[in-house]
């Protein structure tokens, strides 16, 4: 099963766009320009928490419409990472349905908790900017399990997984954050 699934983790631009076709039939092909446009919205969300700038948006894969937003709020609740906050916002606004048509964009690679939640939701795709290594280099502790490892350990899941989109910008954002 695992060998049949395709994962793409890259830090490059348009050269990888044609290889980034989603595995899920529910998702149409998404250009790198569209990925970057959505990631910029996740970055805007992240700026609401300058110390821990983990922001996320969930967009429709076919139209790019933003369906939900979230930013890390772990001061209030330890599980409110940006991705979880965004998933909660999604369910509140749209109900617990339609996940396979959606792509979550996040400024930092989902941790094992968040990636597991996204797998359980059956989300169509996950696109992140900074890698776990990049976040760690900025002095933020990380559990050393990649999003790819979580997806690979989930034989029932076959969503798009793409990393490195606008990572140069988000790596700088994490590095330059005020130390809280």
Binding site for Zn ion (CB under 5 A): 81, 111, 113-114
Q: Residue 106: which of 62, 78, 71, 141 has the closest Cα?
A: 71
CB of 12 to Zn ion, least distance (A): 25
CB of 80 to Zn ion, least distance (A): 9
Residue 78 or 155 with smaller CB distance to Zn ion: 78
Helix (H, G, I), strand (E, B) or coil at 8: strand
Check if the beta carbon of residue 142 is closer than 8 Å to that of residue 132.
yes
CB of 117 to Zn ion, least distance (A): 8
Residue 61 or 82 with smaller CB distance to Zn ion: 82
Residue 35 or 81 with smaller CB distance to Zn ion: 81
Residue 111 or 121 with smaller CB distance to Zn ion: 111
Interatomic CA distance for residues 70 and 6, integer angstroms: 27
CB of 115 to Zn ion, least distance (A): 8
- Write down the residue that tokens 């700038």 correspond to: 53
Q: Which helix (H) or strand (E) holds 45?
A: helix 32-46
């Amino acid at each position: 099963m695992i060998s049949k699934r395709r994962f793409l983790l890259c830090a490059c631009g348009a050269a990888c766009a044609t290889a980034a076709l989603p595995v899920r039939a529910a998702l149409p092909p998404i250009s790198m320009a569209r990925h970057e446009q959505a990631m910029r919205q996740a970055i805007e969300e992240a700026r609401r928490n300058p110390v821990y700038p983990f922001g996320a948006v969930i967009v429709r894969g076919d139209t790019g419409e933003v369906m939900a937003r979230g930013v890390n709020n772990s001061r209030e609740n330890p599980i409110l990472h940006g991705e979880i906050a965004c998933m909660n916002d999604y369910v509140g606004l749209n109900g617990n349905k339609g996940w396979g048509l959606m792509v979550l964009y996040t400024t930092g690679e989902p941790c094992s908790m968040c990636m597991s939640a996204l797998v359980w939701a059956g989300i169509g795709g996950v696109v992140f900017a900074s890698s776990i290594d990049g976040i760690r280099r900025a002095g933020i502790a990380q559990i050393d399990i990649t999003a790819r490892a979580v997806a690979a350990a989930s034989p029932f899941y076959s969503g798009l997984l793409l990393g490195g989109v606008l990572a140069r910008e988000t790596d700088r954002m994490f590095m330059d954050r005020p130390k809280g």
